[in-house]
Amino acid sequence: MTRVKICGVRSAVMAEQACEAGVDAIGLVFYEKSSRAVTASEAVEVVRGVQALVTTVGLFVDASAEEVTQVLDRCPVDCLQFHGNESAEFCLQFGRPYIKAISMRPQVDIEALLTEHSDARSVLFDAWRPDAPGGTGDTFAWDRLPKLRKPWILAGGLTADNVSKAIEQVGPPAVDVSGGVESAPGIKDPERMRAFVNAVREADKRKHEDAAV
């Protein structure tokens, strides 16, 4: 079953709606330049809306260790996601499982990043844009994805309309979406979240049925 993470959840109500839609994880963006940014105290409120067994992920972009620690002191999320140029040593110092985002820039050395971040719990492949580190709504060419043994996450421009194709073509263990389930920048839409999760579940079902034939 493809796991679903919805990133950029900004309120307890959005978190409840995401959980009702059936997500496996929600992401909290601790990057002040984002329209989805939350402070540590807002994040505490968001997490109150999260159902038990749904993973909370705190996302940072080249933050200092002090900034990450201050957030964790207030809001102890289950997992960290690093979306900048953080080294493995930096990511590991917080003693939490972490996801390393790899932006699919033209000349990216995926192998080198995978080797450096071999202790990451998962890697997330995202579209690249020179002016924004993530959450752009852009897709990238999925045939650039490496074959991986460890669980990985597909992100970048996913929507209820294209996620089935992604599951069919590249079979990601997990998918991550942000803009594709919003009605306006930073506003998650309950209908779009439900439609996205349903599209993932339907694609999984079709895959399972096809495998059984």
Q: Active-site positions?
A: 7, 126
Q: Which is nearer to ligand LARABZUK, 49 or 58 (CB)?
A: 58
Query: Closest CB to ligand LARABZUK among 11 and 213?
Result: 11
| Integer Cα distance of 115 and 110 in angstroms | 9
- Identify whether the C-beta of residue 104 lies closer than 8 Å to the C-beta of residue 156: yes
15, two tokens: 């978190």
* Distance in angstroms (rounded) separating the CA atoms of residues 178 and 159: 9
Cβ contact 67:82 at 8 Å: no
What is the smallest separation between the CB atom of 192 and ligand LARABZUK, expressed in angstroms? 11
CA 168 – CA 211 distance, rounded (Å)? 12
Residue nearer to ligand LARABZUK on the CB measure, 67 or 212: 67
How many Å apart are CA 162 and CA 200, to the nearest integer?
10
Neighbours of 213 (CB within 10 A): 4
Both tokens assigned to 110: 């995926």
The distance of closest approach from Cβ of residue 92 to ligand LARABZUK in the complex, given in angstroms and rounded to an integer, is 20
Q: Which residues bind ligand LARABZUK (CB under 6 A)?
A: 7-8, 27, 29, 31, 34, 36, 59, 61, 83, 126, 133-137, 155-158, 176-180
Residues recorded for the chain: 213
Could you tell me the smallest distance in angstroms from the CB atom of residue 85 to ligand LARABZUK?
12
Q: What is the CA radius of gyration of the chain?
A: 16
Nearer to ligand LARABZUK by C-beta: 162 or 205? Answer: 162
